[in-house]
Structure 1
């Protein structure tokens, strides 16, 4: 094996190693205090009396905790909300509304952890959230309000809990529930999107509610509804299914609240309705936009009239700021845990950073009860603060009246010193027996803000080791790069782009708007291609120059979907209305043109394979076999069912996923299409693609053997075939409104193939268009941009491998397309015979074929040299992309390490590192080396 090949192999093997090492240092499991909290002696008996030691009586002994996934605040409180009954309870004073701030990452597992423990979860839960079978994220050994209820001695014995809905709760709390029925939070089957996805998934929860409301043996009933979140992922918050779903949830709230009012055993039941997170304008979540971080939180009970006399009872209301989602008072989602602890009478969980909500203090008339409740919450938080700032003293006693002067004066102190001072104020307030909660809340809110913003427990040696390995990847791949002599335009442009990209990774705003870098870099490269490929015949018609045409198409592509953060809601082609309503016929005309193009190309490939087995042509020895008119006819007949099924699947899927995109089509046609089973259609498409690929590969293998006997060289037909089959697969995995982009990609490829591209230029073009199309399809560096709508095509049961693969392929469809298209551009370098469409030569032109055969014999002795040249071009292509991956990892890892204390470390840089993981492992190893290597190899047959 050549030294260059060894270096390149080692460099690629180090990519996942470097990423894994860095990830374990950047996303460590946070340490926590094991065991359950217990009521402790809190002192001050001499000054405050023995009653101070007994926990105050709790106003409730049961809780119904109803989570509606992605329940954004405006879905409950807004004027367009379908939850009229909840709004009536707010007006009556029997419901207390809040907007609960959910910190990033806004996905289910970390949000459930925050709600139940009161702590700030680790960002690594983003990854674990996608692993349906993961059990390492369990909260079995951590203190939560569920564990406290289970351990509490009620009048009926130890606490019992029941749960129905999202099985994330079952994974987090194994062996906790007396009765449970879980539903997969990720399985969004497209058997019937309207019925199973949006309704049946919630009916599986609701069917248990009537019986459980009649049972008196439980102390906590948890429900987690998924339908509203699924609607958001499928069609966004403005979907026509959204308000009906809100009405359905409102009806369930009505039934439960009526039971609380009428059933004696539910008289002391607290009813909590909340969202685990919200959603953005696209219906997704995971990021830090206002819509994603602003779920609703409502406490309901007839008893609440005691404390809501002065509350704002107006409902519906407008948000405090236009375009935002803050309704009523904003609280932290972690505040739920200590609030439930006080209302149900159990100790605050040990790892809690939440604050008891002041609105509920009115349940206790005695000032000492209120003070004790807040003191126990503050003391629990003080333990976490003291564990963080071990060099400071947090005393449990203080001379009476001694309030720390530095806290009052606001002198310049560290966060730890400020908290130590505020704690002294708490002690002083208790000893002075003041009926004033000011000092308690000042300490707790400051501790909450400080500890929540404190950097993770980074493992710096691993961060440096991971970054060092990424640097080693750069060094190893650098020595495998093509020679820089002579200096080429592509080499200079590539180097400048790399340096600029690595620098921009240290700016949070540029990371959020990374698409602009690739859009402008690609535009600049097309202009470079224009000037470097300018010939005399183009002087008068320069506007039709292939590079200019590619640039013009690029301008349309970048306007197709608006992405990023700053202008996420700005106008784009997809959302301009041109494809909606009656205008949807325009969209489907473009989709039809795209499918027609791929059908014609696949028909030629199948015709060529049929010609391989044509008896008449097989009888002609030593002659390249070509397609006849009959072969082409049979090829078309064979391909139409496959492509037709693909179109029908996409039509049926869109009708249920985004009906506004099909409303301009025939009503009778859509009525028939909507009755079709999507899983079966998708499987037919995938099966047809697999069979077609196997058949054509077998035919090309036979042709290859015949060419070898003649000493002829392959012309890359199988590589083109696999590219076209992959394109049809990618169309199946792409949203309907983005399918016309592939027709534009095809035109771009055509114009680029007319240019004279060096191997480095072809590779650079591949890199630029891979990155550009990733963003052009609507993706960004925010987790909320990950599209799950096509992740379950053809799947009737959750399979982490299959779903994970489809998630990647559907979100990285553009880069995969250009990775393969780039190989075809690379393959045409120095081999003009690959431009000859031999399928179009007439069969009767026997003389021309004989001449071609003689020319092939004349080139026989050059075959070995050509093979070695092709291998060298491929290895250099991989070397350039490996070097790019190494530089990308160094930039991202360096930024995450240097800016680990940055305000946006978890909202900007951490998501970027997760995407860098996907680019480094799945794209570089899986696509560039894996799939790309396979296509390049078969292209030499």
Structure 2
């Protein structure tokens, strides 16, 4: 919330408004005022202009008489940043920002948006309905302390906070036996630190987790998309109530932030000093953290701040690159532990830091593959440690290191949303209005007085009650207060328990034991938090049904287009139809969606065996063709078996040994032999097939330049990205510092590929008699580009794809067989290269190849191609198989006709085949889309709707987009 300079007259108006307007609006308010109020409520994101506030001030002052204040109003004065302030952009990355005084900001306007009341009740923003991915509603304004019989709020034990986020800090990284946080563990043992495992709800992505930590609420699934759209501004928290906004409103010091620039996008114009770093340059382990640490010593000497946010990204980057078992992981943990030691020493020796609270936490964890975004135990179990010498007065210490926990639940488990109300009591500010978290009872001993304990929990409960009543209008304060477990709904049960708590609440200065009531209200807080966090979104069923109707219409049209092909070859089409049917049914089971790769692995193997059997029936036993078919089929199946073991994926076995992450790390030289063979294969294909209009020597020179540029970039990239997989001999090539940056090397590679691509297209128009070399050239260029965009450990799998494609091209496959084979191999290759239906499997390691800054289009395209490398390869390979079929069909068709019509007829036959293939592919795409949409609609209240079915819907969209862009 921005603090702009305000004139004295404006302050007078605000004071008048505070004293006269807050409370129920008179029933006699005229119709114009009511209409205006309703219009404001209906706005999805109210951004009141200054003149609107002044108008309301004038009208309210004129029309309102003596208005009694609401006795239990939580918000007596609420402030919200206006639209103009909310649009202020975050500072440039890696650029420190200094703000001194108010002169620089005097030109900015700040508006105050006060709560609206109708019939004595606070008017809240209505729940919005936006189809399947709606924004969740929130209460506007900034919470204020309400007057209670217990007197003023309890005195806060701390006046400064250092909030240190280590991205992807899984709980065992801090608490386990193999942890590098030895100093932090010593603080836990001595009692100077309180350890917790903070449960992070899905989606376990940085932006929604920061929202949950700062607001205390549960973010929406749509934040997953906004997290990747760095330029998005609709995700700002500038107009929402957070503990950062509360501390800024409280005053007492400046706010500073160093690290992940997500904080600057979420909280524009909040921080007085800041140095932001992009979180998506995942190849950087060191510099990204040094940019944060270099500010720490200086800031620890300054006494002008009360809030310091540090967000370290290096550990998360290591996880994305090499997983939690990377040799870089322990050194990075020790580095972070050193920062904790440095801050703790300053807290002990510096007088201004005596009452400072240091919080060490992760925004999320990581799975065994080093990724996050889903709901696996490792992803949802980040560490949370409260550190201060003052904690020794209430804590005797805990055992360290903690005993290994397979589910990563070390010590006590709290919700990440519990941080907001706990900070409110520890630092002395009201709980943010949209908070769903509960105060952590372990800190209650800071207040020996029962009166203070009661007040802290009561304020927290009343704040959550406001959210519950806004969400469930049927929630009633009056009613029975017994047999709560027998009530029909969770809301009624919660209301019943609330009445019990209200009746048994200790009065002010009442001298009796409050332990039992503390247990009651703590349980109520947790139950209310669970109920609100699990509340299903308010779906707009009309929009969902409309979307389903459009998808169904598309399926019917695709059926009409594909029908003739299917019914004229019904026997050949049966496997294709069976796969489509089984895939659609599978979408309604969460376990099958999580482990979908098994379906495609099994179906592909069965289909390849079926092709072998069908081929044997067409050849005579014991002939040369029969033996060649046997060898051909065995090699294809053998390659398929290796491909399935390349990357472990899914949920249950994602961390099991595989070829890419286990075998290659134990046989590094063998791995690089395979990489060399892959690039040599691409080179020889270029020389032999791709440049027929050049002399052999010229083709060799062009191919060598292309492949050398690609290999040079890949070696340098792997040296920076995953040096642990490079033997010393290979490092001597990859680590050769020629002064050329990775961005420049990537651009050279892309530019060379693009030039050859354009030249090939231009020359194809003047040599249209034999377009096959053009198609081969484009396919080979695409393969080289895909190798550049793939992880190094996935490059040899492209060689297996090429071998399978070559062997399949020698078989006389029909159109339906080609389409079925393409469908199976596209999906199999997606999972074999490490993909899954979890957000956590999205690979960002190659998203910035050749990009020096964030460009949403370039990064989006590169991210898409690096994650859908296998399907894109087989989409291109399918075109080559169709060209082979065209050649066979043309030869058979034209053997009885005039040779002069060969070229025209060949093009016509080719176009007809391709249209039939597209019709079949569209039939499967639309059928699968109908099934996925139907599953998401029917199971919209399912426990795993946001962790399983919603990501599957997004991945289905990605696969369909690939078909539209590449397939056509």
TM-score normalized by the length of structure 2: 0.83
Measured at CA, do residues 467 and 855 of structure 1 come closer, stay the same or move farther in structure 2, by a change above 3 Å? closer
For residues 678-693 of structure 1, what are the structure 2 equivalents within 5 Å? 678-693=742-757
1:87: Cα distance to partner?
A: 1.2
Contact 1:655 1:674 in 2 (8 A): no
1:673: Cα distance to partner?
A: 6.8
**Partner residue of 1:527?**
609
Gaps spanning 5+ residues in structure 1: where?
1-21, 46-51, 611-630, 705-712, 837-853, 930-941
**Partner residue of 1:807?**
863
* 1:876 aligns with one of 898, 916, 922: 916
Residues 555-601 of structure 1: CA distance to partner in whole angstroms, max 9, x if unpaired? Answer: 22111111111222223222443x224x2111111111111111011
Measured at CA, do residues 124 and 794 of structure 1 come closer, stay the same or move farther in structure 2, by a change above 3 Å? same
SS of the equivalent of 2:259 reads strand
- Computed over aligned residues only, the root mean square deviation of the Cα atoms, in angstroms, reads 2.3
Contact 2:886 2:913 in 1 (8 A): no
**Partner residue of 1:31?**
137
SS of the equivalent of 2:373 reads coil
The CA distance in 2 between the partners of 1:298 and 1:635, in whole Å, is: 62
Measured at CA, do residues 673 and 209 of structure 1 come closer, stay the same or move farther in structure 2, by a change above 3 Å? closer
1:518 and 2:600 aligned = yes
For residues 58-97 of structure 1, what are the structure 2 equivalents within 5 Å? 58-97=156-195
Contact 2:690 2:774 in 1 (8 A): no
SS of the equivalent of 1:405 reads coil
SS of the equivalent of 1:608 reads coil
1:834: Cα distance to partner?
A: 9.6
Query: Which stretch of the first structure deviates more once superposed, 598-607 or 28-37?
Result: 598-607
SS of the equivalent of 1:523 reads helix
Query: Which stretch of the first structure deviates more once superposed, 102-111 or 71-80?
Result: 71-80
1:412: Cα distance to partner?
A: 4.9
1:355 and 2:438 aligned = yes
The CA distance in 2 between the partners of 1:441 and 1:731, in whole Å, is: 55
The CA distance in 2 between the partners of 1:792 and 1:664, in whole Å, is: 27
Contact 1:70 1:228 in 2 (8 A): yes
The CA distance in 1 between the partners of 2:899 and 2:417, in whole Å, is: 74
**Partner residue of 1:435?**
514
What is the aligned residue count?
829
For residues 388-787 of structure 1, what are the structure 2 equivalents within 5 Å? 388-395=471-478, 404-407=481-484, 410-431=485-506, 434-436=513-515, 437-483=518-564, 484-534=566-616, 535-539=618-622, 544=630, 546-577=632-663, 579-581=664-666, 583-605=667-689, 607-610=691-694, 631-663=695-727, 665=729, 668-669=732-733, 671-672=735-736, 677-704=741-768, 713-787=769-843
For residues 132-531 of structure 1, what are the structure 2 equivalents within 5 Å? 132-154=230-252, 160-188=254-282, 193=283, 197-309=284-396, 311-312=397-398, 314-319=399-404, 321=405, 323-395=406-478, 404-407=481-484, 410-431=485-506, 434-436=513-515, 437-483=518-564, 484-531=566-613
Contact 2:197 2:409 in 1 (8 A): yes
Gaps spanning 5+ residues in structure 2: where?
1-127
The CA distance in 2 between the partners of 1:134 and 1:498, in whole Å, is: 37
The CA distance in 1 between the partners of 2:412 and 2:401, in whole Å, is: 14
**Partner residue of 1:928?**
967
**Partner residue of 2:63?**
none
Instruction: State the 4+ residue runs in structure 1 displaced beyond 4 angstroms.
Output: 431-434, 538-543, 666-671, 673-676, 833-836, 854-858
The CA distance in 1 between the partners of 2:557 and 2:129, in whole Å, is: 22
1:527: Cα distance to partner?
A: 2.2
1:295: Cα distance to partner?
A: 0.7
Contact 1:334 1:355 in 2 (8 A): yes
Contact 1:609 1:700 in 2 (8 A): no
Measured at CA, do residues 329 and 835 of structure 1 come closer, stay the same or move farther in structure 2, by a change above 3 Å? farther
Contact 1:609 1:696 in 2 (8 A): no
1:904: Cα distance to partner?
A: 1.0
1:702: Cα distance to partner?
A: 3.1
For residues 889-904 of structure 1, what are the structure 2 equivalents within 5 Å? 889-904=929-944
**Partner residue of 1:846?**
none
Query: Which stretch of the first structure deviates more once superposed, 257-266 or 771-780?
Result: 257-266
Residues 15-63 of structure 1: CA distance to partner in whole angstroms, max 9, x if unpaired? Answer: xxxxxxx994111110110101111134xx4xxxxxx031111111111
The CA distance in 2 between the partners of 1:89 and 1:633, in whole Å, is: 69
Residues 471-502 of structure 1: CA distance to partner in whole angstroms, max 9, x if unpaired? Answer: 11101111111513333333211111111111
The CA distance in 2 between the partners of 1:864 and 1:648, in whole Å, is: 44
1:452: Cα distance to partner?
A: 1.1
SS of the equivalent of 2:436 reads coil
SS of the equivalent of 1:164 reads strand
1:650: Cα distance to partner?
A: 2.0
SS of the equivalent of 1:485 reads helix
The CA distance in 1 between the partners of 2:754 and 2:296, in whole Å, is: 46
* Greater length-normalized contact order (CA 8 Å, ≥ 6 residues apart): 1
Contact 1:261 1:267 in 2 (8 A): yes
SS of the equivalent of 1:609 reads coil
SS of the equivalent of 2:760 reads helix
Contact 1:715 1:833 in 2 (8 A): no
The CA distance in 2 between the partners of 1:286 and 1:33, in whole Å, is: 27
1:862: Cα distance to partner?
A: 4.2
Measured at CA, do residues 413 and 662 of structure 1 come closer, stay the same or move farther in structure 2, by a change above 3 Å? same
The CA distance in 1 between the partners of 2:408 and 2:837, in whole Å, is: 23
Contact 1:149 1:160 in 2 (8 A): no
The CA distance in 2 between the partners of 1:241 and 1:906, in whole Å, is: 33
The CA distance in 2 between the partners of 1:830 and 1:380, in whole Å, is: 70
Residues 62-83 of structure 1: CA distance to partner in whole angstroms, max 9, x if unpaired? Answer: 1111111111111111122112
SS of the equivalent of 2:131 reads helix
SS of the equivalent of 1:771 reads helix
Measured at CA, do residues 722 and 666 of structure 1 come closer, stay the same or move farther in structure 2, by a change above 3 Å? closer
Query: Which stretch of the first structure deviates more once superposed, 813-822 or 747-756?
Result: 747-756
